[in-house]
């Protein structure tokens, strides 16, 4: 699960495990999110402070690239699924991770998805 907030130029994302550790250890170098109003506030070069779900243990990553795609499949093919879902054994498994998040499939069709490449 991810919680997102942006206030006065700072962006925070709360991540659950295993995603928190994989991003912190730079194994997971890409985030894919619904391209809704919150994500439209992001810009290349911005910094994101990631924390655990309880807000503890913050660390910072810079946004290297942002790209909008019509689907999770398109984004995962572009970035190579292992960069976004390192635990997946196939593209189909990576897509299933995103589509299993409540509301993500419907919202991806409605808004598209945002690929966030991290430093």
The total number of structural domains that make up the chain: 1
42-101: per-residue pLDDT in tens?
999 999 999 999 999 999 999 999 999 999 999 999 999 999 999 999 999 999 999 999
Strands (E) across 1-119 are located at 2-7, 10-15, 30-34, 47-52, 59-69, 113-118
- Identify the bridge partners of residue 30 per DSSP, sorted by sequence position: 117
Q: Where are the alpha helices (DSSP H) in 1-119?
A: 19-24, 72-79, 81-84, 91-99, 104-111
pLDDT of residue 108: 97
32-46: per-residue pLDDT in tens?
999 999 899 999 999
Give the integer Cα–Cα distance in Å for 107 and 110.
5
The contacts of residue 117 (CB under 8 Å, 6+ apart) are: 29, 30, 63, 64, 65, 66, 67, 79
What is the CA angle 72-69-29, rounded to 5?
65
CATH code where residue 17 lies = 2.30.130.30
Cis peptide before 26 (omega within 30 of 0): no
Task: Tell me the residue range of the domain where 73 lies.
Answer: 2-118
When pLDDT is cut at 50, 70 and 90, the band that residue 11 belongs to is confident
């Amino acid at each position: 699960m991810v919680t997102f907030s942006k206030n006065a130029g700072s962006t925070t994302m709360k991540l659950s495990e295993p995603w928190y550790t994989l991003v912190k250890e730079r194994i997971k170098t890409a985030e894919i999110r619904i391209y809704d109003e919150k994500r439209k506030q992001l810009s290349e070069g911005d910094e994101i402070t990631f924390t655990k779900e309880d807000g503890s243990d913050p660390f910072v990553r810079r946004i290297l690239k942002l790209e909008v795609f019509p689907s999770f499949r398109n984004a995962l093919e572009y970035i190579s699924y292992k960069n976004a879902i390192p635990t997946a054994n196939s593209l189909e498994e990576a897509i299933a991770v995103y589509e299993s998040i409540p509301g993500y499939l419907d919202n991806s069709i409605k808004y598209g998805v945002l690929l966030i490449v991290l430093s």
